[in-house]
């Protein structure tokens, strides 16, 4: 009765067995919760007079624009 050897007899088969890719299980994905009120950097086009209006009171003009946009967003509901 002929049995197959445990190790490959053919040198090419032996080399192929050595370089066979290992089966790896992917690492578990860690889900990160989004920060509820995170700000994002964006680029938008605003008319010059609108920008000047918000910049008149000095620093904090971006927050004032954000507040105005949020008020407009909440007013549409």
User: Do the beta carbons of residue 41 and residue 32 sit within 8 Å?
Assistant: no
| 75 falls within a domain | yes
User: Do the beta carbons of residue 54 and residue 61 sit within 8 Å?
Assistant: yes
Average pLDDT of the residues in 48-54: 95
pLDDT 10s digits, 18-41: 777 777 777 787 777 766 677 888
Q: Which residue has the higher pLDDT, 13 or 7?
A: 13
Please give the tally of structural domains in the chain. Answer: 1
| 61 falls within a domain | yes
| 14 falls within a domain | no
Percent of the chain's residues with pLDDT above 70: 86
**H or E element that contains 3:** none
What domain range includes position 59? Answer: 45-77
Q: Which residue has the higher pLDDT, 39 or 57?
A: 57
The whole-number pLDDT of residue 77 equals 62
Q: Which residue has the tokens 């605003």?
A: 46
Q: Which residue has the tokens 């445990």?
A: 6
Q: State how far the Cα of 61 lies from the Cα of 55, in Å rounded to an integer.
A: 5
């Amino acid at each position: 009765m002929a049995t197959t050897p445990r190790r490959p007899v053919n040198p090419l088969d032996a080399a192929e067995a050595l370089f066979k890719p290992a089966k790896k299980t992917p690492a578990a994905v860690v889900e990160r919760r989004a920060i509820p009120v995170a700000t994002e950097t964006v680029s938008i086009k605003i008319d010059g007079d609108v920008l000047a209006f918000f910049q008149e009171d000095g620093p904090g003009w971006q927050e004032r624009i954000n507040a105005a946009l949020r008020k407009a967003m909440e007013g549409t509901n």
